[in-house]
């Protein structure tokens, strides 16, 4: 009974590490290929459109309403303490250090990660990946590298856009709806937002880009059994990428806080 | 095993392949001479497609050797296999066209990947090949708008545009009406005559096998059960062979 329990647990642990290993190998292969093989500019540009350009609306709405609601909630608490003008500082720090990168990461996972695993998974089950290989084209060079590079470039920009619209929305809510003094709001916000907060947010965005692209492409490349397999791969890609972002975010925060500590010191 | 005194283009020795617990290939030995056409027949699910995929490294066997043009491909990495794959084209069962590209882009894909940048040269080569596969005027269509037979012909065009010295066909006539089947058969014959390519054709269409094969191999229970010319297989009194031949004749496909 116990033996069977521990054997089953062991199998889960082993398969988890095999999975991690496969994703890391894919990441290594992709990074090596990006350096050593010629650049496919057309594919890169198409991915820039799909990933970067077309994700903007989602990211702007996410950032805007998060900034708005966060400003309102902070105001409700801070106003009782008589420090309502500090709302801008809190909203800005939160958006730069956490909300901007994490929410952008989750939204891009849903929009782009799902599309990546579904597209690559469909190519896999319809033998298009085998056709690529048979035509002497490495699937990583053709499918993963352009997506990886487009994500590396797009994600920090999308994070910045998300934060920017969050700040605009929070200003609008605070000043025009909640009657906080505009100049005080901006002055506090600028005073308490440091360059290292900005760097931290963009660094997180870059790291999440890599998590999303490798987890999603790996799920696509290993999907099986027709339409059901592609569906499962897509679901798993979104779930695994989202969880990876949330878990990795904690460790990244602890690590980056050593390099870029919060607030004045 | 030299065939007709010529050096073999493809030589397979003791090939074994398991998928899960199932033993698909149990020791296949076969060789194909340069410029020759070998047809592999056998029951559905008998491992014919698996054998073909092993020949081009899309699957790795558990045991055995595969020599392509004098080079053993077992144990080569994905990147090392690229050289072999430029010499060997494959036509997939369903065509395996890239569905995000037009017919023209699909056919031009191997050219562009081989580094051809001159739009004029690409256009001219596509024109030539469309004439060979009799699909002129369909360049701008997307694969989803093509019939099964057209997809196979485009898949074939894509496989042969870089003039491989060897072509593998996975069920080239399966699921096609007799007229289209015949046109595919004639196409395969024409490629043999015009470009002298070595061909391996996997099929269970006996009419096609007799029409295009120089030799026919019968894959049964993971081994080559019979190897001979079309005349020899027709003259064979082996009950298993007779069952297969007659079975195909009465079970129209």
- When comparing pLDDT for A226 and B49, which is higher? B49
pLDDT at B250: 42
Using an 8 Å Cβ cutoff, are A35 and A141 in contact? Answer: no
A residues 122..151 contacting B (CB < 8 A): 123, 126-128, 130-131, 133-138
* In the predicted structure, residue B176 carries a pLDDT above the cut 90: no
Q: Which of A141-145, B72-76, B146-150, B151-155 has the highest mean pLDDT?
A: A141-145
* In the predicted structure, residue B251 carries a pLDDT above the cut 50: no
Average pLDDT value for residue range A10-35 = 94
* b/e B114-146 (16+ beta carbons within 10 angstroms → b): eeeeeeeebeebbeebbebbebeebbeeebeeb
Nearest to B207 by CA among B242, B182, B183, B179: B182
* In the predicted structure, residue B2 carries a pLDDT above the cut 50: no
CB atoms within 10 A of CB B52: 23
Q: Give the count of Cβ contacts less than 8 A between chain A and B.
A: 50
Q: What is the pLDDT of residues B17-34, one digit of tens each?
A: 988 888 888 989 999 998
pLDDT at A234: 95
Q: Beta strands of chain A (E only): which ranges? A: none
pLDDT at B6: 55
Nearest to B31 by CA among B59, B56, B49, B6: B6
**Distance, first Cα to last Cα, chain B:** 34
pLDDT at A146: 96
Residue of chain A nearest B52, judged by CA positions: A134
Average pLDDT, chain B: 86
**CB contacts, 8 Å: A133 with chain B:** 57-58, 78, 81, 85
Residue of chain B nearest A37, judged by CA positions: B79
CB atoms within 10 A of CB A148: 25
Q: Say which residue the tokens 């296999």 belong to.
A: B81
Supply the pTM of this predicted model: 0.89
* Candidates A135, A142, A145, partner chain B, best to mutate (most B CBs within 10 A): A135
Q: Please give the order of strands across the beta sheet that includes B88-91.
A: B88-91, B166-170, B198-202, B37-41, B215-220, B223-228
Tell me which DSSP letter residue B7 carries: P
ipTM: 0.87
Tell me which DSSP letter residue B146 carries: S
Which range, of A131-140, B104-113, B132-141, B243-252, averages the lowest pLDDT?
B243-252
Which of B81, B94, B158 is opposite residue A127, by nearest beta carbon?
Answer: B94
SS in 3 state form for B151-195?
Answer: HHHHHHHHHHCCCCCEEEEECCCCCCCHHHHHHHHHHHHHHHHHH
Using an 8 Å Cβ cutoff, are A236 and A183 in contact? Answer: no
Average pLDDT value for residue range B175-183 = 83
Secondary structure class of A179 (helix, strand, coil): coil
CA distance B160 to B172: 14
Q: What is the pLDDT of residues A217-248, one digit of tens each?
A: 999 999 987 778 999 999 999 999 999 999 99
Reported as a pLDDT band with limits 50, 70 and 90, residue A49 is very high
* In the predicted structure, residue A34 carries a pLDDT above the cut 70: yes
pLDDT at B239: 82
pLDDT at A37: 87
* b/e B72-93 (16+ beta carbons within 10 angstroms → b): ebeebeeeebbebbbbbbbbbb
Subunit contact B78:A126, Cβ cutoff 8 A:
no
* In the predicted structure, residue A161 carries a pLDDT above the cut 90: yes
Average pLDDT value for residue range A87-105 = 94
Tell me what percent of the residues of chain B surpass a pLDDT of 90.
30
* b/e A76-96 (16+ beta carbons within 10 angstroms → b): eebeeeeebbbbbbbbbbbbb
Subunit contact B113:A136, Cβ cutoff 8 A:
yes
Long-range contacts of B59-64 (CB under 8 A, 24+ apart): B59/B17, B61/B15, B61/B16, B61/B17, B61/B25, B62/B16, B62/B17, B62/B18, B63/B14, B63/B15, B63/B16, B64/B12, B64/B13, B64/B14, B64/B15, B64/B16, B64/B27, B64/B28
- The residues with which B218 forms a beta bridge, in sequence order, are B41, B226
Nearest to B94 by CA among B151, B176, B134, B161: B151
By CB neighbour count within 10 A (0-12 exposed, 13-18 middle, 19+ buried), where does A98 fall? middle
Average pLDDT value for residue range A70-91 = 92
Average pLDDT value for residue range B162-168 = 90
* In the predicted structure, residue A42 carries a pLDDT above the cut 80: yes
Subunit contact B78:A138, Cβ cutoff 8 A:
yes
Nearest 5°: phi and psi at B19? -120, 115
pLDDT at A255: 92
Q: Which domains does chain B have, with CATH numbers?
A: 8-250 (3.40.50.300)
Residue B98 sits at the chain A interface (C-beta within 8 Å): yes
What's the token pair of residue B106?
Answer: 């699909």
pLDDT at B20: 84
What's the token pair of residue B134?
Answer: 């009799």
Average pLDDT, chain A: 93
CA B59 to chain centre: 15
Subunit contact B98:A135, Cβ cutoff 8 A:
no
Nearest to A209 by CA among A158, A260, A137: A158
CA distance A141 to A34: 7
Tell me which DSSP letter residue B6 carries: B
Which range, of B141-145, B167-171, B208-212, B248-252, averages the lowest pLDDT?
B248-252
Reported as a pLDDT band with limits 50, 70 and 90, residue A265 is low
Length of chain A: 265
pLDDT at B3: 45
Q: What is the pLDDT of residues B121-147, one digit of tens each?
A: 998 888 888 887 777 778 889 999 988
**Distance, first Cα to last Cα, chain A:** 56
pLDDT at B249: 46
Using an 8 Å Cβ cutoff, are A217 and A240 in contact? Answer: no
CA distance A185 to A169: 13
């Amino acid at each position: 009974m116990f033996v069977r329990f521990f054997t089953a647990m062991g199998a889960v642990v082993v398969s988890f590490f095999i999975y991690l290993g496969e994703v890391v190998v894919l990441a290594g292969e992709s990074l090596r290929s990006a350096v050593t093989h010629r650049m496919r500019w057309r594919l890169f540009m198409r991915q820039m459109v799909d990933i970067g350009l077309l994700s903007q609306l989602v990211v702007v709405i996410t950032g805007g309403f998060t900034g708005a609601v966060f400003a309102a909630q902070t105001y409700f608490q801070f106003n009782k303490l008589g420090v309502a003008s500090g709302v801008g500082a809190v909203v800005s720090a939160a958006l730069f250090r956490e909300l901007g990168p994490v929410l952008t990461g989750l939204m891009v996972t849903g929009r782009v990660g799902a599309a990546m695993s579904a597209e690559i998974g469909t190519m896999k089950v319809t033998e298009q990946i085998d056709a690529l290989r048979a035509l002497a084209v490495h699937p990583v060079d053709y499918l993963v590298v352009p997506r990886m590079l487009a994500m590396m470039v797009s994600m920090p920009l999308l994070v910045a856009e998300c934060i920017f619209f969050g700040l605009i929305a929070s200003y609008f809510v605070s000043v025009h709806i909640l009657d906080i003094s505009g100049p005080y709001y901006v002055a506090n916000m600028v005073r308490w937002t440091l360059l290292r907060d900005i760097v931290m947010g963009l660094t997180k965005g870059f790291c999440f880009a890599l998590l999303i692209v490798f987890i999603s492409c790996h799920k696509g490349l290993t999907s099986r059994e027709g339409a059901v397999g592609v569906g499962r791969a897509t679901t798993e890609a979104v779930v695994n990428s989202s969880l990876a972002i949330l878990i990795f975010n904690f460790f990244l925060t602890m690590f980056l806080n050593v390099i870029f500590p919060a607030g004045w010191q | 095993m030299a065939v007709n005194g010529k050096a073999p283009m493809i030589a397979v020795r003791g090939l074994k392949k398991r998928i899960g617990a199932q033993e698909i290939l149990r020791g296949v030995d076969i060789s194909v001479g340069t410029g020759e056409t070998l047809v592999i027949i056998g029951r559905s699910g008998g491992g014919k497609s698996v054998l073909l995929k092993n020949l081009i490294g899309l699957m790795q066997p558990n045991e055995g050797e595969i020599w392509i043009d004098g080079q053993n491909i077992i144990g080569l990495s994905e990147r090392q296999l690229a050289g072999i794959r430029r010499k060997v084209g494959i036509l997939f069962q369903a065509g395996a066209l890239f569905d995000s590209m037009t017919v023209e882009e699909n056919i031009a894909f191997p050219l562009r990947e081989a580094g051809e940048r001159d739009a004029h040269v690409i256009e001219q080569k596509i024109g030539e090949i469309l004439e060979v596969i009799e699909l002129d005027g369909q360049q701008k269509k997307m694969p989803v708008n093509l019939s099964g037979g057209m997809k196979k012909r485009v898949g074939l065009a894509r496989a042969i545009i870089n003039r491989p010295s060897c072509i593998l066909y996975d069920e080239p006539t399966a699921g096609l009406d007799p007229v289209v089947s015949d046109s595919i058969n004639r196409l395969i014959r024409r490629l043999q005559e015009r470009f002298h390519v070595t061909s391996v054709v996997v099929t269970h269409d006996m009419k096609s096998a007799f029409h295009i094969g120089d030799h026919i191999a019968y894959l049964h229970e993971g081994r080559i059960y019979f190897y001979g010319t079309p005349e020899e297989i027709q003259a064979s009194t082996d009950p298993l062979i007779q069952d297969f031949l007659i079975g195909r004749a009465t079970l129209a496909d």
